[in-house]
Amino acid sequence: MRLSIVTPTIDRSSFIEEALASVTRKGEDELEHIIVHDGGRGFTEALAARHPHLKILEGTHSGPTAAIAQGIAAATGDFIFYLSSDDRLAAGALDALRRAARARPDVRIWTGGTRIFRAGPAGTEVTIRALSSPAATAATLPNLLDDLPLFTARFIHRSVYAELGNLDLQFPESSDREFLVRAAMAGVREAPLGATVSELRQHAASHTMHGARGRVPPYLREHLRLAEAWLDRRDIPPPAARLFRNWRAREYLRLIVFQLRARQWRGAMTSFGEALKADPFWGLRATTTLAAWLRRRRS
């Protein structure tokens, strides 16, 4: 088995050495680590000097989603894994993948657990959330729509990208969720790995794991577009259509709440009107929010 790891970087990727150190190498023919860099050559030249085993590509300066997609397109491994430059691959994850893939070659997505942490006092780490149970990490539509998509905790076989295509650059803030929804709708076989795979760092400079309050997450609008795209399809099964309608209602409600918190009164009123126009019953469907909220609080 050959594994490809894709890591996008910029000149301000201050945790890259920790990310690279978390990848345990066992033979040059088993692992390729692809760095897609949107930045200056000085960064990549220094990185290549310290780590000659890396495969470094020059990015297109189109953002992290485009960089990840570029790395996926260049990957030659049987399985492809995304490792952010801020995060770490958990100890033992690669050994668990080797054992699992050898035992069940029919599985095309292996899903592990994840831990979200932030720096604590005196060099300690504080765990914010940990997801490990198969019920919480499985790539089911309810999990993918309402909780973390866990793209950073899934080893995805290259044949899945060959079948479904790469990340969709039309969803730069939620391309991971969009891709995994495609995989779930296509019935791609997925199984629990039974091991923690990733450790995600929350810090102020992170694009996604920053913990900031008082702003409207840009991914909410993308979620609404994603729901509309699936609901516009004629081949969608009725149970899935119901899930997407309820999700659209919940995301409209979340958008309005975030806009109100950010004192965007006019934006909240506009979103309210859009929600009613999209679905006159959106308020009733939005009552499913409690179940979704509980899903996002699982540990």
For the stretch 52-102, pLDDT in tens is 999 999 999 999 999 999 999 999 999 999 999 999 999 999 999 999 999
What CATH homologous superfamily does 3-201 map to? Spore Coat Polysaccharide Biosynthesis Protein SpsA; Chain A (3.90.550.10)
For the stretch 148-190, pLDDT in tens is 999 999 999 999 999 999 999 999 999 999 999 999 999 999 9
**Mean pLDDT over all residues of the chain?**
93
For the stretch 230-239, pLDDT in tens is 999 999 999 9
Domain borders along the chain are 3-201, 219-296
For the stretch 14-25, pLDDT in tens is 999 999 999 987
Q: What percent of the chain has pLDDT over 70?
A: 96
How far is residue 212's CA from residue 206's CA, in Å, rounded to a whole number? Answer: 10
pTM: 0.94
SS3 content of the chain, % helix, strand, coil (to 5): 45, 20, 35
What integer pLDDT is reported at residue 206 of this predicted model?
Answer: 61
For residue 58, list its beta bridge partners. Answer: 37
- Per the CB < 8 A criterion, the answer to whether 134 and 192 are in contact is yes
How far is residue 51's CA from residue 143's CA, in Å, rounded to a whole number? Answer: 37
- Per the CB < 8 A criterion, the answer to whether 171 and 227 are in contact is no
What integer pLDDT is reported at residue 212 of this predicted model?
Answer: 60
**Confidence grade of residue 211 (pLDDT, cut at 50, 70, 90):** low
How far is residue 267's CA from residue 279's CA, in Å, rounded to a whole number? Answer: 18
